[in-house]
Amino acid sequence: MNELLMLVEGEETDEGLLGWQERALCAQTDPEAFFPEKGGSTREAKKVCLSCDVRGECLEYALANDERFGIWGGLSERERRKLKKRAV
């Protein structure tokens, strides 16, 4: 079964495409910290990310899916853009 179909049918497992999200520390904290208003502090979100076991998977997801808002894998939108530019 392909992964997209598994997501649609709700059959995703810990080993699947987005299983890392269930283990993410941000899922256990205030989501507003990860999507601050423009000019708002990212300090608390980044602090959570530092000790998260799935930080790498999170950042990889954000880069692959061109996430334009929020803190993903410990990086802000601006930091992810810079990282992508350096990779090109």
Binding residues: 26, 49, 52, 58
d(CA 14, CA 35): 25
Residues belonging to the binding site for [4Fe-4S] cluster are 26, 49, 52, 58
d(CA 5, CA 28): 27
Query: Tokens 């997209």 label which residue?
Result: 4
Amino acid type, 75: L
